[in-house]
Amino acid sequence: MVKRIGLILAATLTAAAATFELAAGARRAALYVPPGEPECVRLAAGDLAEDIRKVTGRSPALVTRQEDCAPHCVVIASLAHSRDLIEQLDPESATWLKGRWEAFRIRLVAAKSTLLIAGSDERGAIFGAYAFSERYLGVDPLYFWTGFEPPRRKTLRWKQVSLEADEPAFRYRGWFINDEDLLTEWRDGGGRRFIDYPYYHQVIHPEVMERVLEAALRLGFNLIIPSSFNDITNPPEEGLIRLAVRRGLHVSMHHIEPLGVSAFAFSNYWRRKGMSVPFTFHSQRAAFEEIWRHFASRWAAYPGVVWQLGLRGIADRPFWQHDPDAPRSDEARAAIISDAVQLQWRIVGEVDSRRLPPATITLWMEGAEFNRRGLLRLPEPVTVVFADNTPGWKMQADFYQSPRQPGRTYGIYYHHALWSSGPHLVQAVPPWKTYEILREAVERQATYYALFNVSNVREFVLGLEATAYMVRDLRSYEPHIWFRKWVEARFPAAARDVERAYRDFFAAYEIDEQTGTPALLDGQTLAEGRRLLGQILKPEASPLAPSTPRSETLNRFFPSMRPVGSWSVPELIERCRRQRLRMESALRLAASAANRLAGYRREFLESNLLAQGRILAGLLAWTESVAAAWQQRETDPQAAAASLRRGLEAFRQIREAQALASRGRWRDWYRGDRKMNLGGAESQTRQALDLLQRGTLDGHE
């Protein structure tokens, strides 16, 4: 597998007197985790034992006494919990690990026939175990999501093993499981959610969440927001938090859920009390203080919480948009947000026993603007988190313009995925673009916290793996070299063509000249087509087709979130055509390369590039056809109907692409497609076609 960037392989090692034997014939070295280690270290040791079984066909013993760990022994331990043992086995490593955050060292202790995987703390030990598995056993950290199997070997023995990683470049490195419609619907049985929303009606199945958590840890991430709108008072949703903490991850909340309270949780809480309380902090301060304290006390029962503070309104909008009595001036609005954050910080101090609990405020839309202008009053220990422009193409202006305060820590919130504008079903952000953003974060001292929106995970495994190396050791990472090695390791029989196909695919996106960002992501493409379909179905709603309107809030607070929408319909058609043709060219090259691959290598290329690319190419073709029908609907209804029939044919391509990515364990993967709702777009297209064919375009027989 690809050598992990950021893991410093020692050039020399003190000569070992004997070979360390992990597996030979029926013999296996035992794995020993000292009794003082937390459960998360034992779980990682269990994963390592399973990895050894995959490679050799036999599992090693997991022993509870050191004397049972002979003649060859793998010790997995942390300095924080097993200092005496590590100092006894390897004093030099114990000294090196002291005082470090999530660092690890892996060494052979020849005199004791021991392989020591030592972490500075429990997460360091966990990351060390997974790093050993990747480097020496060949186990893909994302094996579940990619399908890649490690090479089978009868014997595992080494005279030298040396692997280490210093403190990560970013202290907190997390995944945000957001817009997770596919994950929630893929497996039934996770439990019911009580949420007045078209999505998220059931909880991610615990077995699926275990795979998510394992993948995050194998890649070296240490934090997770396990779902959108997580309500800790609902046992199945609390179960996701429990699983993450059990695994050793820090846990946090969405930026619209300060102290774990979303607008949905707020409504449910007061409904259970037989009350209807408006979601307005400035007029219902006592109600907010009560629920924040209640939820915070529930979250504080779990170790490793990174608190989220802030104040936003319903549907991730400024709080005043649904409150006619809210103040009108920016200064007064910022004062209300500041007051809420100060109150939340006091509550955290009451419920969290740590001396200085970690807490963040994610600057989004109005928060970013108010902070840039110096209108927010934030507690000094709170980490300020800057957001990108969604998707992760560039940071917002406030990242560059906001003055940094001495003593305050900073971080970033970055999107590999975003609904509704996309990416959601189709990846768009290449590793070299992510590198540009993270390099800027390092240059501007925003490295205390890095949160990555990963949606349903599976679509974005390339970006997530690349990101894992960057946040561990950005200085040693070169994106194009890393990507070439990533391709060569996974597709050795067709590496050159696969690399070119990926690069051509990422380069195929149309770039909006006014924003400098991709303009036809999957969500944007779908939205444009559905908007025009709506005007065919209800022509009285708008006789013309101006570009997609943007709200005052987006124009003011998020000018580069998506294209400004200045394209005419003919220009939309032309841009869709150009992007589609470029993507189809990349996909032809990928298909040719796939024919030279077999097994899991071919299946991964088909699902990760071919299927995704064909979904987007189909959406582009559909939007072209719908836009053409819109132009033709009054002058030539028959031609418009023919255009819509071509649009429906594009959905056949989309369904075939989804079937390509829905084989084996991934059957039913797209069953939960509620956010993009491609089925709804197809149905709407049929309605418009029926209307045209019946000759009722103007609403009359």
pLDDT digits (tens, 9 = 90+) for 507-527: 999 998 888 899 899 999 999
Q: Report d(CA 473, CA 496) in Å as an integer.
A: 27
pLDDT at 4: 42
Band of pLDDT at residue 7, cut at 50, 70 and 90: very low
Q: Which residue has the tokens 């020993």?
A: 32
Q: Please determine, for residue 231, whether its predicted confidence score (pLDDT) is greater than 70.
A: yes
Q: Please determine, for residue 425, whether its predicted confidence score (pLDDT) is greater than 50.
A: yes
**H or E element: which one contains 164?**
strand 162-165
The proportion of the chain whose per-residue pLDDT surpasses 70, expressed as a percent, equals 93
pLDDT at 701: 40
Q: Which residue has the tokens 């779902």?
A: 227
Average pLDDT over every residue of 432-448: 97
pLDDT at 609: 98
pLDDT at 553: 62
pLDDT at 557: 63
For CA atoms 196, 202, 203, 208, give the dihedral sign: negative
pLDDT at 540: 67
> If one looks up domain 172-477 in CATH, what number appears?
3.20.20.520
Q: Please determine, for residue 57, whether its predicted confidence score (pLDDT) is greater than 90.
A: yes
Are 360 and 382 contacting, i.e. CB atoms less than 8 angstroms apart? yes
CATH architecture of 20-165: 2-Layer Sandwich (3.30)
Band of pLDDT at residue 110, cut at 50, 70 and 90: confident
Asked if domains 20-165 and 172-477 share a fold, the reply is no
Average pLDDT over every residue of 244-252: 98
Are 134 and 140 contacting, i.e. CB atoms less than 8 angstroms apart? yes
- The distance from CA 377 to its chain's CA centroid, rounded to whole angstroms, is 30
Average pLDDT over every residue of 266-294: 96
Ranking 292-301, 547-556, 606-615 by mean pLDDT, the lowest is: 547-556
635-663 confidence digits (pLDDT tens): 999 999 999 999 999 999 999 999 999 99
pLDDT at 560: 58
Band of pLDDT at residue 196, cut at 50, 70 and 90: confident
Q: Report d(CA 642, CA 77) in Å as an integer.
A: 67
pLDDT at 551: 56
Q: Please determine, for residue 12, whether its predicted confidence score (pLDDT) is greater than 70.
A: no
Beta carbons within 10 angstroms of residue 159's beta carbon: 13
- The distance from CA 56 to its chain's CA centroid, rounded to whole angstroms, is 32
Q: Please determine, for residue 431, whether its predicted confidence score (pLDDT) is greater than 70.
A: yes
Question: What are the tokens at 696?
Answer: 């009722």
Q: Report d(CA 520, CA 514) in Å as an integer.
A: 14
Strands (DSSP E) contained in 177-273 are: 223-225, 250-251
Q: Report d(CA 397, CA 402) in Å as an integer.
A: 8
149-168 confidence digits (pLDDT tens): 999 999 999 999 999 999 99
Q: Please determine, for residue 562, whether its predicted confidence score (pLDDT) is greater than 70.
A: no
C-alpha neighbours within 13 Å on the C-beta side of residue 171: 13
Give how far Cα 337 sits from Cα of 84, 285, 331, 422, Å.
49, 12, 10, 29
Q: Please determine, for residue 9, whether its predicted confidence score (pLDDT) is greater than 70.
A: no
362-384 confidence digits (pLDDT tens): 998 899 999 999 999 999 999 99
Sheet containing 162-165, strands listed edge to edge, beginning at the edge strand earlier in sequence: 62-63, 30-32, 73-78, 114-119, 104-109, 162-165
Amino acid at residue number 420: S
Question: What are the tokens at 537?
Answer: 């179905």
540 compared with 242, residue with greater pLDDT: 242
Average pLDDT over every residue of 79-94: 97
Q: Report d(CA 470, CA 445) in Å as an integer.
A: 15
Q: Please determine, for residue 463, whether its predicted confidence score (pLDDT) is greater than 60.
A: yes
For CA atoms 361, 367, 372, 376, give the dihedral sign: negative
pLDDT at 244: 98
Q: Please determine, for residue 96, whether its predicted confidence score (pLDDT) is greater than 90.
A: yes
Beta carbons within 10 angstroms of residue 595's beta carbon: 9
Domain residue spans of the chain? 20-165, 172-477, 503-693
pLDDT at 100: 98
Ranking 199-203, 373-377, 382-386, 667-671 by mean pLDDT, the lowest is: 199-203
